[in-house]
A and B are shown apart, each in its own frame.
Chain A
Amino acid sequence: MEHPKTAISFENVYKSFGTQAVLQGLDLEIPSGQITTILGPSGCGKSVTLKHVIGIEQADSGRVEVVGHDMSNVRQRDLITLRKRIGVLFQSSALFDSMTVKENVAFGLRMHTKMPEAEIAERVHVCLDAVKLAGTEERMPVELSGGMRKRAALARAIAMSPDFILYDEPTTGLDPNTSNVVGDYILKLQNELDITSVVVTHDMPLTRRVSDKVALLFNGKAVVQGRLDDIESSQNEVFQLFVDGRLG
């Protein structure tokens, strides 16, 4: 199999908050055009890792590279172009609570494109339909359940047709059926649009279904990374402990 190009790479990245060391020499490669799943116990720094990719957090030392841009000294203009190409699903959904669902999903299109309103409405409808939220356009985020918010946020993340999508726990708080819908959708985006995806999750069934590559974060490092089959057949001790729920 041809070796895929690296889209995002972490090289020996350190990050602390005050005295708390979170990332301690993280090395991680995210191949382009594939789905990479990041696993790890709660609080190990998965969300922080994602935030480095969009430059919301900056590494204390080490190098974070996103499609050739070194995130520690990227030009403002490149950073903006980059961010327009990356869709992010935040763990907390982070919907704008002063806007309706429709306005949330349309936000990027309205800010960054000259798309006419009719087309925007059409695009919003398609995105909401994809996450089974059609008909909620005029509702406010507070009027949605947690799982619905997550899906609305997913719709917002894909509205701009990004080349990269970062999913922070896309299925947490969803019932198995809806989880499957989201899993299907992640795969569908992947197959049809050749997107580079990073999925942070605790959901092993989802991991098995979608991952091309898996990385396990523990103690601020990626203790294993590779294809799921390879990792499982290698009998990696930490990985086994994690899967059995006895890590940490």
Chain B
Amino acid sequence: MTRLFASIGANLAVFFIMVFDMFRYLVQCVHEIRHLYLYRHQVLLQCYAVGVGSLPLVCLISAFSGMAVAIQMAYQMESYVPDYMVGSIVVRSVVLVLSPILIGLVLAGRVGAGIASELGTMKVSEQVDALTSMAVDPVGYLMLPRILAGLTKIPVLVIFSSFVSIMTGFGMSVIKMDITVTDFIKGMKLDFMVYDIFVGLIKSTVYGGVLTFVGAYMGLQTQGGAQGVGQSATSAVVVSSALILILDYFLTLALLY
């Protein structure tokens, strides 16, 4: 029993040390913003990698999830509500919930793990030490540009994803489920709110920041060789996915309630 408590205590200590450490990195990151001019090429490069690089994947999953939502809604609502409600529900669920979460989780895998393994490899091959030795701050040069790319490009990707999902959901409803074009559009217009887009943007900005930060943090913490890099990539995905889902609850609560 005492051993159980000791182990819980030790794990808690590790956890709090990690949280504290993450916080330190975050402060350092904010501090490095004053040298942003030095890192401008990196920022552009990362924006391109995150934004354009993720586009095909985002298109693909958004297209299919949009169709799935439309079918699901039509099936659930069939006899209870008028057809045009499908349009309304598809739009709102996509913009408010589905796109931010889905893209957040998928990009935690694609972008977050990518960052963790890239920086992890740089760490174990002494490239991070080489940066430091050349008087270039690794947090500023490696972490900050990636976070900025996440904060600015992931919301754009989510908007884009929402658009694609709605279009495919629309197509699905019309072609397969005998909902008329006018009905769907009527539903879309019926309770479309600009505030919903705002909520989607807030959520996706937060997730974009979280997944790039966690990825970069795990990468820079990497110890050991190839195995360490693998572990960092795994931790990056696990931690950022969990954080995204937990934050989703709190953001939804705060913004919609």
Q: Smallest Cβ distance from A115 to chain B, in angstroms?
A: 14
A70-114 interface with B by 8 A CB criterion: 80-81, 83-84, 86, 88, 90-92, 94-97, 107-108, 111-112
Number of A-B contacts (CB under 8 A): 51
- Would you call B44 an interface residue if the criterion is a C-beta within 8 Å of the partner chain's C-beta atoms? no
- Would you call B134 an interface residue if the criterion is a C-beta within 8 Å of the partner chain's C-beta atoms? yes
Q: Main SS of the interface on chain A? A: mixed
Q: A92-B125, A94-B125 are in contact. Are A54 and B133 (CB under 8 A)?
A: yes
Q: Which residue of B lies closest to A159 (CB)?
A: B134
Residue numbers in B under 8 Å from A1 (CB-CB): none
Q: Smallest Cβ distance from A45 to chain B, in angstroms?
A: 16
Give the residue of A56, A81, A92 whose beta carbon is less than 8 angstroms from that of B132: A56
Q: Is the CB of B126 within 8 A of A92?
A: yes
Q: Main SS of the interface on chain B? A: helix
A39-88 interface with B by 8 A CB criterion: 51, 54-56, 80-81, 83-84, 86, 88
Q: Smallest Cβ distance from A146 to chain B, in angstroms?
A: 13
Q: Is the CB of B127 within 8 A of A111?
A: no
User: What is the bound-complex CA distance between A83 and B122, given in angstroms?
Assistant: 20
Residue numbers in A under 8 Å from B121 (CB-CB): 97
Q: Is the CB of B125 within 8 A of A83?
A: no
User: What total of chain A residues lie within 8 Å of the partner, measured CB to CB?
Assistant: 22
User: What is the bound-complex CA distance between A91 and B129, given in angstroms?
Assistant: 12
Q: Smallest Cβ distance from A49 to chain B, in angstroms?
A: 14
User: What is the bound-complex CA distance between A92 and B225, given in angstroms?
Assistant: 13
Residue numbers in A under 8 Å from B126 (CB-CB): 90-92, 94
Q: Is the CB of B129 within 8 A of A84?
A: no
Give the residue of B38, B127, B135 whose beta carbon is less than 8 angstroms from that of A94: B127
Residue numbers in B under 8 Å from A80 (CB-CB): 135
Give the residue of A84, A91, A95, A96 whose beta carbon is less than 8 angstroms from that of B135: A84
Q: Which residue of B lies closest to A107 (CB)?
A: B134
Q: A94-B129, A97-B121, A108-B135 are in contact. List 12 more A-B contacts (CB 8 A).
A: A54-B132, A54-B133, A56-B133, A83-B133, A83-B134, A88-B134, A90-B126, A90-B133, A92-B126, A96-B131, A107-B136, A108-B134
Complex A-B: 20 CB contacts under 8 Å:
A55-B132, A83-B132, A83-B133, A83-B135, A88-B130, A88-B133, A88-B134, A90-B133, A92-B126, A94-B125, A94-B127, A94-B129, A95-B127, A96-B122, A96-B127, A97-B127, A107-B134, A107-B136, A108-B134, A108-B135
Closest 4 CB pairs of A and B: A83-B135, A94-B126, A94-B130, A88-B133
